[in-house]
Amino acid sequence: MTTAHDSESTASEAQPSPVISRHRLTTRLTHWGWAGALFFLFLSGLQIFNAHPVLYVGQQSGFAYDNSVLSISPVRERGGEVRGLTTVLGLSFDTTGVLGVSGPEKERAYRAFPAWLTVPSYQDLATGRVVHFFFAWILATVYAVWLVGSAINGHLRRDILPGLADIRALPAAFVAHLRFRFEHDGRYNSLQKLSYAIVLLVFFPLMIMTGLTMSPSMDAGWPWLVQLFGGRQTARTIHFVVMLLLLGFFAVHIAMVFAAGPINEMRSMITGRYSIRRSVDRGGRT
């Protein structure tokens, strides 16, 4: 155990690290396609949210009654000071500096999400919408290409959809990840399969469908959409919540890339080539 470094160096001296072709071109292209699209969708989405920073449940927004589940707003206190107040399911938090009230002390901005989290940085709903819908088309197109491509080349069945064996392996994989032990045989482990399946087969379609439900024209064309989600305002809330879940996935995803070796991981997603040296070492030790 204490000689892990030594054994690693001797192993690499003794035999060259096996490099495999890990990711296909479609996987790599679509990965960067929606990574870019999601970046702009996120920042322009927060811009759009800022135009009416309240989320509701149901068909409509309660002005004469309360069906809100989240709101972010600047509130003037008795002393005259303005504080940012974020209310989630009736619980209020002081979020001054980031949510509700942000920007330099001298020139505070009264806005839900701060300038550094929106495109454009200033309040401009029109531009936020233009950016959002452009990248929504990109995301939907890239997703369609990935879905069809992965169904045809077997990526979906082989690497994404978790099988019975993957479900059984989940607890062990979970514990291994908590201990920062990662498999490096180039294949997705059960936890990876499950998280990619949830993101790609649940979150992405949910995001696109709740987005379409907010379109008054689509509600006429496909009325089952708004029925499925229980109202346009509920769909807007789900759209926001799934955004947060995708953000959470992104944080873990990036953390895992760094933990598993950022250069090797990045190389595999850009060139497709992936070194499985470490797994050979691990295999020797265990």
Partner 1 sequence: MSAFLLSRRRFLTAAGATVSSLPLAGCDALDGLIVNDSPVRRLLASANSLTYRAQRLLVPADRLAPEFAESEIRQAQRPNGSTDPGDATYLALKQDDFAGYRLHVSGLVERPLHLTLEELRNMPSRTQITRHDCVEGWSCIAKWSGVALSRVLDEARVKPEALYVVFHCFDSMPLGLAGSVAYYESIDMVDARHPQTILAYGLNDEVLPVANGAPLRVRVERQLGYKMAKYIRAIEITADLAPFGRGGGGYWEDLGYDWYAGI
Instruction: Give the binding site for partner 1 (CB under 8 A).
Output: 1-2, 4-5, 8, 43, 48-49, 51-52, 54, 56, 59-65, 115-122, 124-127, 129-131, 133-134, 136-137, 179-181, 214-223, 226, 232-233, 236, 254-255, 258-259, 261-262
Least gap, CB of 256 to partner 1 (angstroms): 9
Beta strand 68-76 pairing with 82-88? antiparallel
| CB contact at 8 A, 41 and 139 | yes
- To the nearest whole angstrom, how small is the minimum distance from the Cβ of residue 226 to partner 1? 6
* Closer by beta carbon to partner 1, 159 or else 219: 219
Integer Cα distance of 99 and 83 in angstroms: 9
Q: Quick one: which of 176, 201, 179 has its CA closest to 190? A: 176
DSSP 8-state symbol, 58: S
Minimum CB separation of residue 135 from partner 1 in Å reads 8
User: 120 is written with which tokens?
Assistant: 């454009």
d(C-alpha 114, C-alpha 98), whole Å: 6
* Shortest spacing between CB 165 and partner 1, in angstroms: 26
Give the nearer residue to partner 1 in terms of CB position, either 118 or 150.
118
Q: Which is nearer to partner 1, 64 or 89 (CB)?
A: 64
Q: How far apart are the first and last CA of the chain?
A: 10
Nearer to partner 1, 19 or 257 (CB): 257
